[in-house]
Structure 1
Amino acid sequence: MSFTAKLPSRTNYVDEVYKVLLDAISDGSLAPGTRITQEEVAEQLDVSRSPVIQALRQLKTDGLVQDAPGRGVLIAPLDPQTIGHVYKIRGVLDELAAGLAAERWARIDPELIRKGREISLGDDVRAMIDADMAFHRAVYQASGNPLIEDSSRMHWVHLRRVMGGVIQLHGMRRPIWDEHQAIADAIEAGDVAQARQLALQHTLNASENLLARLGLETAAP
C-alpha cells in the first residue's frame, strides 16, 4: 500500500491523517473494498497509531470506511443513495449560486477554467478534484451569499468523494470544463435563467454519469 509521502513532524496528526486518507479515497488511490489497517497507515505516514485510530473513527462516522472481517477496515463502496442525496443538495446550492451570481453580472476568473482544462489533460485526479471544487467555490462566492459556501462545507467530505468518482471517468474530464465555461459565460452575461439551468444540468450530468459507471439506473427527478 502506498498513497502518499510521510507527514512532516507535528504534535497532532489527526487532521493530517484524515485529510490524507480522504484524498486517497476520493482520487481512487484507495479503491472501494480496499482493506487498510491502523498499523499499515501508521507505518506509511510515519506516525503513531493514536492519530490513525482517531482519523479512521471519523472516516467511519462519515461513512467512508466500514468494519472489515478480522483486522482493519474496508473502504466503503460508493453508495447510490448517498450519491443521490449529495447531488440533490449540490444541485440546489449550485443552481441558487449561479442565479444569484448572474443577477450581479459577476465574472468568474477565467484562469480557474484555463487551469482546470490544463490539469484535466494530465493524470493527477487529486489536482482535478481541487480545480473542480475551486470553480464551484468561485461561483458560490460570486453569489454574494456566504451561507451557500458555508452550507457546501457541511457536505464537503461527500462532495469531494463523488467529484473524484466522476473525474475518474476519463470521458467526462473535458465535458466538465466545457460545462463550467458555459455556466461562467451565462453568469457574466447576466442571464439568470440560463445560469440556473446550466448549473442544475451540470449536477444532473455528473450524477447520471457516476451512477452509470457503477452500473446503476438513475431515478427520474
Structure 2
Amino acid sequence: MTPLEPDSTAEDVYKVIAEDICTSRLKARDAVVLADRAGQLNVPAQLVDQAMLLLQVDGLVEQATAHGLRVTQLDMDGVRHHYAIRGVLDGLAAREAANRARRDREARQVLETEGQQIMRLGHAAMRSGDVIELVRQDEALHIVLYKISGNPFLAKTAGPHWRALRRAMIETLRHADLPWEIWQQHAESLAAVLAGDGAAAEELMTAHSLDAADSLRSAYATRGGSAA
C-alpha cells in the first residue's frame, strides 16, 4: 500500500480504505485495524479514526468489538434503496444533459466523444470479463452525464450511493454472468441524451437504475447469497 502525502486529510484516508472495500481487497467481516492502517498509509491515527467514522456513516464498516471495526456484509435491500435514490439523480442528470446537448453544440460534442469512448471500453471489459474495469466504465458514463448536466451538486450527491453500489457490483458480478442488457440500456440512454430528448433520457435512465438493482439482486441470489 502506497503511503499518502504528508498533507493528506481524513477524506484521503477514507478514499483509500473505501476503495479497498469496494474492490474486495477487504472483504465482508474482515477486521480493519486502525493502528495497522495508520502505519501503512503513514498518517496520524487520528486521521484514520476520522475516516472510519465516515466509513461507518456510509455503511462500509461497523463496530465489531468495543475497540475494533470490520467490513460490513452486503445488504441487498440496502443496495436497492441506494439504486432507487441514484435512479432519481441519474434521471435528472440525463434530462438536464439532454437539454444542454440540444442547445450547446460543444457540450454535445464532449458528451458524444467521451460517451462513445466509455461504451467501447465497457464492451471491451465485458468481453474480457474484467469486472473492476466494467464497473469503472459504468460509473464513468454516469459521471459524464453529471458533468454535462451543468448541475454541480449531482456528482457530490450521488457519490455515497456509488461507493455502496460499486462494492455490491464488483462482489456480485465476479460470480455471475455479466449483464449485456445493462450496456444496451446505457446505449439507449446515451442516444436519447445526444438526441436532446430530455423526457426519454430521464425515463430510460431511471428505469435503467431499477433494472440494474434487480439484475444485481438476481445475480447475488444465484451465487448463493441472501439479502441481509
Q: TM-score range by the shorter chain?
A: 0.7 to 0.9
More helix by share: 2
Q: Alignment RMSD, CA only? A: 2.7
Q: Match for 1:185 among 182, 191, 203?
A: 191
Unmatched tracts of structure 1, length 5 or more: none
Name the structure 2 match of 1:162: 165
Conservation of the 8 A alpha-carbon contact between 1:166 and 1:172: no
TM-score normalized with structure 2 length: 0.77
Taking only the aligned residue pairs, the percentage that are identical comes to 30
- Pick the aligned partner of 1:78 from 69, 74, 79: 74
1:172 is paired with a residue of what secondary structure? coil
1:22 Cα deviation (Å)? Answer: 0.7
Q: Any gaps of 5 or more consecutive residues in structure 2?
A: 103-107
Say which SS state the counterpart of residue 165 (structure 1) adopts.
Answer: helix
* Aligned pairs (5 A) from 1:78-157: 78-103=74-99, 104-105=101-102, 106=108, 107-108=111-112, 109=114, 110-120=116-126, 121=128, 123=130, 125=132, 127-144=133-150, 146=151, 149-157=152-160
**Residue pairs, 1:37-48, within 5 angstroms:** 37-48=33-44
Pick the aligned partner of 2:61 from 61, 65, 75. Answer: 65
- Identify the match of residue 14 of structure 2 among 13, 18, 23: 18
Cα pair distance change 1:124/1:52, threshold 3 Å: farther
Q: How many residues align?
A: 209
Amino acid at match of 1:73: L
* CA–CA separation in structure 1 for the residues paired with 2:23 and 2:179: 14
- Asked if 1:205 is matched to 2:207, the reply is no
1:112 offset after TM fit, Å? 2.2
After superposition, the Cα gap between the structure-2 partners of 1:14 and 1:87, relative to the gap in structure 1 and judged at 3 Å, is: same
The TM-score, its normalising length taken from structure 1, stands at 0.79
- Structure 1 residue 150 displacement after superposition: 0.8
